[in-house]
Amino acid sequence: MPDYIKVGKLFYNTKRLVVFVARCLCHNQQMERLHQFFSCDALLAKVAEENPFVYEQPTRVGLAPCRGRTWRGEIVCTSSI
């Protein structure tokens, strides 16, 4: 599992960091599946290491149901790459 605080500090100030970590914890199962996807291959692991936004973006998209997107849909979409 990625360190949500460490990842969040790359993108956010304290207030937004708390929101990011809370979203990750509320959707821990989905975040774990995303992490498993990026850990299954050396190239994907390198992508996630050098571009930690792969963990940050789903927390924004997944919590915007007014746009018709869901956590499950984003994970399935990412997994099919």
- Domain segments of the chain as ranges: 4-79
More confident residue, 20 or 73: 20
Asked if 58 contacts 30 with a C-beta cutoff of 8 angstroms, the reply is: yes
Nearest to 33 by CA among 59, 81, 72, 68: 72
Nearest to 72 by CA among 34, 23, 17: 34
User: How confident is the prediction for the chain on average, in pLDDT?
Assistant: 76
d(CA 57, CA 35): 13
Which tens digit of pLDDT belongs to each residue from 37-57?
Answer: 988 989 988 988 888 888 888
| Cβ atoms within 10 Å of 62's Cβ, excluding its own | 21
Percent above pLDDT 90 for the chain: 4
Find the mean pLDDT for residues 5-32.
84
The band of 68, judged by pLDDT with boundaries at 50, 70 and 90, is low
